[in-house]
Chains A and B, each alone.
Chain A
Amino acid sequence: MSSQRPRCPECRTPIRESEINQLQLAPCSGCNSLLQVELFPAFFRASSAGQTADEVLLEGESTCFYHPTKKAVLPCSGCGRFLCSLCDCDLGGNHICPTCLEAGRTKLKIKNIERQRTRYDNIALALVFFPMILFYVTIITAPLVIVLTVRHWNSPPSLIQQTRVRYVIAIALAALQIVGWGVLIVVLIGMFYAR
């Protein structure tokens, strides 16, 4: 459990018992800031010590794939390798090894461990809009936008804006830019031959 009493985040004065779980603001005894503190049972829960793996005692006992001298306690749910208690990563009842955990994270196969996503839709929109300041750069960026959008069309979208509208806008504007360049080049060639 947390070994310290709850404290005011401003002045670190321990919060009075009468101010805890009152569901209304009350002044802190130290700095008079209005505080509302809500404690849950996890605050008082004792933290369990980490498990240590047992050494292999008998010949023929199953050993951990990653620690050959440690006794295996269960197989990995992902790859089937035997694991000791040190290597066991418990994810909501699923026991997997560190390798499967990392693979699951990078390949987005395991829920709830993804730490970040790249916003390719915003990158595509930025590549469409910002180069228009120096319009001649768009001859390079417009095809790049189309390649980027096609390449990442099925990439996981933002969790907040879950639509592909930005991809559609980026492709449409990039296509317009390419058409514009095509028309410009044709006109310039026509003017050159007309002389």
Chain B
Amino acid sequence: MPVSNYRRLTWRSRRPTRIALAVPRTTLLFGDDHILKVDSTLFAESYKRFFFRDIQSITIKTNRRREIWNIVLGPLLAILVLERLLDTGAGNALAATVTITALLSAVLLVINNLCGATCDVRIQTAVQADTLPPLSRVKRANQALELIRPLIIQAQGQLTPEETLARVRELAAPPVPKPAPTGPLNL
């Protein structure tokens, strides 16, 4: 596989959950005609390809990950700051530890909120549907879509908004029932 043909879709790799280190880390690359999803564990990589001509839909749905991190980091920061303010008799080592942890929590809290809303991105083709974990922020997901949208349009063409609407309405319309077959004498 020629490695030089691939470019990173995002510079970020991500595990679907940060807790279990055994869960593969996912990286997104894209080539001339497909997106490559690489799931890496310590000793192996597995690949999944989504060809631009086959991509049916990409869905971005916000989730509550940012709020959850705010709920975790906010009270932690508050407790650490309170402890630092109240416990003036603490030794240098403890004070330093509390201060560093509080600063770290504050930085993470600010970054979490500056990066914007978190989301799950789902890509669908005719034979598979999958999530793209590295596109975990709405802003990053839209930046990635800006990169690949022209490639998808180049591979598939583009429908006008009116054509898209008409096709969706066709799908929504109830199926026309077939007439029941009748014999020569309808007795």
Number of interface residues of B (CB under 8 A): 53
Q: Is B158 in contact with chain A by the CB < 8 A criterion?
A: yes
Grouping DSSP codes into helix (H, G, I), strand (E, B) and loop, the A interface class, with mixed when no group exceeds half, is: loop
**How far is A20 from B55 in the complex, measured between Cα atoms in Å?**
15
Stretch at the interface among B38-46, B65-73, B179-187: B38-46
A interface residues, how many (CB within 8 angstroms): 46
CB distance from B9 to the nearest CB of A (A): 12
Asked if A9 and B120 sit within 8 Å, CB to CB, the answer is yes
Residue A62 at the B interface, CB < 8 A?
A: no
**A118: B residues at CB distance < 8 A:** 43-44
Residues of A within 8 A of B45 (CB): 116-117, 119, 158-160
A-B CB contacts (within 8 Å), total count = 134
- Provided the pairs A3-B171, A9-B61, A115-B47 are in contact, do residues A160 and B40 lie with their beta carbons within 8 angstroms? yes
Known interface pairs A38-B58, A40-B56, A116-B46; A20-B168 also in contact (CB < 8 Å):
yes
Kindly state whether residue A52 has any CB partner on chain B within 8 Å: no
8 closest residue pairs by CB, A with B: A43-B56, A36-B60, A34-B62, A116-B46, A44-B167, A41-B156, A42-B56, A5-B171
Show 7 A/B contacts (Cβ-Cβ < 8 Å), sorted by A: A1-B171, A6-B57, A42-B125, A119-B42, A119-B45, A126-B43, A159-B36
Which residues in B have some Cβ–Cβ distance to A below 8 Å?
1-3, 6, 13, 27, 29, 34, 36, 38, 40, 42-47, 49, 53-63, 117, 120, 122, 124-126, 138, 142, 145, 149, 152-153, 156-159, 161, 164-165, 167-169, 171-172
